[in-house]
Amino acid sequence: MHIEVKEDDFIIENEIVAIENIKDPDAAISIFVGKVRKEKKLIKLFIDCYPEMAENEIQKIVQNASNRWKLNQVRIIHRYGSLDPGENIVLVITTSDHRGDCYSANQFIMDFLKSEAAFWKKEIFLDKTKWVEQKVTDISTMKDWQED
Amino acid sequence: MHIEVKEDDFIIENEIVAIENIKDPDAAISIFVGKVRKEKKLIKLFIDCYPEMAENEIQKIVQNASNRWKLNQVRIIHRYGSLDPGENIVLVITTSDHRGDCYSANQFIMDFLKSEAAFWKKEIFLDKTKWVEQKVTDISTMKDWQED
Amino acid sequence: MKLKYFAWVAEIIEKREEEIELPDHVKTIDDLMNWLSDKNDGYRIAFNDKKKIKYAINQTLSKEYDSISRNDEVAFFPPMTGG
Amino acid sequence: MKLKYFAWVAEIIEKREEEIELPDHVKTIDDLMNWLSDKNDGYRIAFNDKKKIKYAINQTLSKEYDSISRNDEVAFFPPMTGG
């Protein structure tokens, strides 16, 4: 498990190389990249963060995912600070021997990251700024996993 | 939709750039990479292919996925020929405005690629060679989608 | 005691963190919010709607009546919106 | 008519493709497999277990009794194992 909470950007290929420097390549790799939406009048996305808490929470989320699915490697990067539309926000890489495990675990991790990790997004538009509110659907998506 | 059936390797980052040269970056990107398993005594994986048929079938699979989920971009590369353990075999990139769509579509496409696209794998071990047989689980995984 | 504030909570309170002397009668997160709210409008507005605020003791999400002590780090923030 | 073979089917028949003159009485995929099987052991072994072989007419997966004609490209192969 490798978790980074930082301002710098990431390059997917380098992160896969980093994983494979630790261990032989796995057969199935699921990757999710979240980016700042390109939206009319959106100038910047500012992400506030409580880094120590975010890292703790992400560790717990990954631990829960590892209890449910057979995973080989998990690598997560979540950025904070001031980002332009189109820039990377988050990267989740899960690897396993079978694709079902890495797909499900990846989606599980993203669902919990959305509502349980200590990050807060503020949208800076041409004419206003707005703290993003937690979505009801993000909470229900997360709860769906608990009913399994 | 961009589909390539070829011998050459791919670089994920370049494929994302290629997508974003066509259209502005999307908020959610799901990527799957399938690699040759690192296995004891496995020397090579040979992939036979009927390229014209494979491309037709992948187009149909992507069309079906696009009918079920709201996708912005789909980019698929499937390699054939002689590959070393650890080498890339297949890349599926799906992008959308919301992560649920691109995750589900990506998994749907991979499930159908496994059993409906004109590729055949042969494992070359130190002491034997073996054409991979279609897995019963791959067929049932594919059929699960039809019962939705 | 170290206090931290994030997102719009930090904006309203106009601080990202501060050190306070915890009075003896302030024993829970709820006590702390009430005590701070008496100090000035910033805190009062931030803590006004209890449904919109979350808190962590030592980087762990906590409940309103969880106990706090001098050596804890307590943080206040809105529901998370990462990912 | 153009015939193509893939994977172990190509290995057993020892060809990846060939051009044949389609006899008038060969009207379906099934007829074609029977006619080829009479030619030599390679075809006979390849087409022996009908559960293990699949076929396409003009790059479209087809059924045993689908009709074929001179201008078609017919391919024989095992179940797919890509991805």
Q: How far apart are CA B49 and CA B120, in angstroms?
A: 6
pLDDT in the model for residue B8:
97
**C22: pLDDT strictly greater than 80:** yes
Residues from chain A contacting residue B140 (CB–CB below 8 Å) = none
pLDDT in the model for residue A143:
84
Q: Do C82 and A47 touch (CB under 8 A)?
A: yes
Domains, in order of start, for chain D? 2-77 (3.10.20.30)
pLDDT in the model for residue A42:
95
Establish how many alpha carbons lie within 13 A of residue B97's alpha carbon, considering only the half-sphere containing its beta carbon: 4
Q: Do D81 and B50 touch (CB under 8 A)?
A: no
Least confident residue range of A39-43, B8-12, B44-48:
A39-43
Q: Where residue A141 falls among pLDDT bands split at 50, 70, 90?
A: confident
Pick the residue of B9, B33, B121, B132 with the most A CBs within 10 A to test the interface with A by mutation.
B33
**B143: pLDDT strictly greater than 90:** no
What tens digit of pLDDT does each residue of B98-136 get?
999 999 999 999 999 998 999 999 999 999 999 999 888
pLDDT in the model for residue D53:
95
Size of interface B-D (CB pairs under 8 A): 73
**D3: pLDDT strictly greater than 70:** yes
Q: Do B56 and D59 touch (CB under 8 A)?
A: yes
Q: Do B50 and D6 touch (CB under 8 A)?
A: yes
Q: Where residue B58 falls among pLDDT bands split at 50, 70, 90?
A: very high
Amino acid code (one letter) for B96: S
**A51: pLDDT strictly greater than 80:** yes
D75 touches D37 (CB < 8 A): no
**Quick one: tokens of B24?**
């502005």
pLDDT in the model for residue B40:
87
Of D56, D60, D79, Cβ closest to residue B134: D79
Q: What is the pTM of this model?
A: 0.94
How high is the mean pLDDT of chain A? 95
**A134: pLDDT strictly greater than 90:** no
Q: Do D83 and B89 touch (CB under 8 A)?
A: yes
Of A12, A27, A34, Cβ closest to residue B27: A34
Nearest CA in chain B to A87: B25
Minimal Cα–Cα distance from B26 to chain A, Å?
Answer: 6
Mean pLDDT of A68-73: 97
**A135: pLDDT strictly greater than 90:** no
pLDDT in the model for residue B139:
84
pLDDT in the model for residue B148:
59
**CA–centroid distance for D37 within its chain:** 10
Of C75, C81, C83, Cβ closest to residue A50: C75
Nearest CA in chain C to A121: C81
Mean pLDDT of C26-43: 96
Q: Do D82 and B121 touch (CB under 8 A)?
A: yes
Ramachandran sector of residue A41 (left: φ over 0; alpha: ψ -120 to 50; beta: rest):
left
What tens digit of pLDDT does each residue of D23-69 get?
999 999 999 999 999 999 999 999 998 889 999 999 999 999 999 99
Q: Where residue A148 falls among pLDDT bands split at 50, 70, 90?
A: low
Dihedrals phi, psi of B40, to nearest 5 degrees:
-55, 130
Closest CA to B15 of B105, B96, B91: B91
pLDDT in the model for residue B142:
84
Minimal Cα–Cα distance from A63 to chain C, Å?
Answer: 16
Amino acid code (one letter) for A93: I
Mean pLDDT of D17-28: 96
Q: Is B33 on the interface with D (CB under 8 A)?
A: no
Of B38, B110, B141, Cβ closest to residue A24: B38
Q: Where residue A63 falls among pLDDT bands split at 50, 70, 90?
A: very high
pLDDT in the model for residue B10:
97
Amino acid code (one letter) for D13: I
**A5: pLDDT strictly greater than 90:** yes
Q: Do A48 and C78 touch (CB under 8 A)?
A: no
Minimal Cα–Cα distance from B30 to chain A, Å?
Answer: 5
Q: Extract the runs of DSSP E, i.e. beta strands, from chain B.
A: 2-6, 28-35, 42-49, 73-79, 81-83, 88-96, 119-125, 129-131
> HEC string of chain A?
CEEEEECCCCCHHHHHHHHHHHCCCCCEEEEEEEECCCCCCEEEEEEEECHHHHHHHHHHHHHHHHHHCCCCEEEEEEECEEECCCCEEEEEEEEECCHHHHHHHHHHHHHHHHHHCCEEEEEEECCCEEECCCCHHHHHHHHHHHCC
- Percent of chain C with pLDDT strictly greater than 90: 95
* β-pair partners for C19: C2
Q: How far apart are CA A95 and CA B22, in angstroms?
A: 29
Q: What is the ipTM of this complex?
A: 0.93
**Where exactly are the structural domains of chain B?**
2-147
Instruction: Give the pairing of strands D17-19 and D2-5.
Output: antiparallel
Q: Where residue A121 falls among pLDDT bands split at 50, 70, 90?
A: very high
Of A20, A27, A37, Cβ closest to residue B37: A27
Residues from chain A contacting residue C16 (CB–CB below 8 Å) = none
Q: How far apart are CA A65 and CA A67, in angstroms?
A: 5
**A47: pLDDT strictly greater than 90:** yes
Minimal Cα–Cα distance from B119 to chain D, Å?
Answer: 5
What tens digit of pLDDT does each residue of B26-50 get?
999 999 999 999 888 999 999 999 9
Nearest CA in chain C to A49: C6
DSSP letter string, B12-32: HHHHHHHHHHHSPPPSEEEEE
Q: What is the CATH number of domain A2-147?
A: 3.90.1170.40
How high is the mean pLDDT of chain B? 95
Of B48, B89, B110, Cβ closest to residue D7: B48
Q: Do A134 and C79 touch (CB under 8 A)?
A: yes
Q: What dihedral do alpha carbons A28, A29, A30, A36 form, nearest 10°?
A: -160
Contacts of C42 (CB under 8 A, 6+ apart): C12, C13, C14
Size of interface A-C (CB pairs under 8 A): 72
Least confident residue range of A38-42, A119-123, B68-72, C42-46:
A38-42
